Amino acid sequence: MANWFTNLFKRNKDDEERTYERRIRIDEGAYDDPKDLHYFIAQALMFPDYYGNNLDALADCLGDIDTPTKVVIRRKPRTENEPAPEPTWFDAFCDVFQDLEEQNDFLDVFFKTLPAEEPAKEE
């Protein structure tokens, strides 16, 4: 299993190196379940109608991408001292994207941290 959190801080790609024909952003916490995220990805990346809505099908379709595509995955912030959380279904998606980026030269995946929520102001 790839370690997205470690790579979050090791990746340093220049966004301006390539002109992308497709760009999508996936924010952790924006989807209630894997089905919703599969639907969004399939629509945004124009996967075929027979897309199977599972991680194997995701890997197959990401491997078939043949136009420069940028995917930005924004994760919730975690502190260095915070213990590693149990893997979630979202982590599994991140692992697939990270693995397929290494295999497909048309796919660039960037892991970023979501902005921290501002504390509520007292009145």
Per-residue model confidence (pLDDT) at position 53: 97
CA dist., res. 103 & res. 63, Å (int): 7
Q: 3-class secondary structure for 19-67?
A: CCCEEEEEECCCCCCHHHHHHHHHHHCCCCCCCCCCHHHHHHHHHHCCC
Whether the CB-CB separation of 108 and 101 falls below 8 Å is answered with: yes
How many CB atoms within 10 Å of residue 107? 21
Give me the sheet containing 107-113, strands edge to edge. Answer: 22-27, 69-75, 107-113
User: Among residues 61, 77, 57, which one has the least CA distance to residue 69?
Assistant: 61
CA dist., res. 5 & res. 35, Å (int): 23
65-117 pLDDT, tens digit per residue, is 999 999 999 998 877 777 777 889 999 999 999 999 999 999 999 999 988 76
Q: Which of 10-19, 22-31, 40-49 has the lowest mean pLDDT?
A: 10-19
Higher-confidence residue of 71 and 122: namely: 71
Q: What residue segments make up the domains of the chain, in order of their start?
A: 19-78+86-113
Q: Is 120's pLDDT higher than 90?
A: no
CATH value of 19-78+86-113 in 3.30.450.20, 3.40.50.300, 3.30.70.20, 3.30.370.10: 3.30.370.10
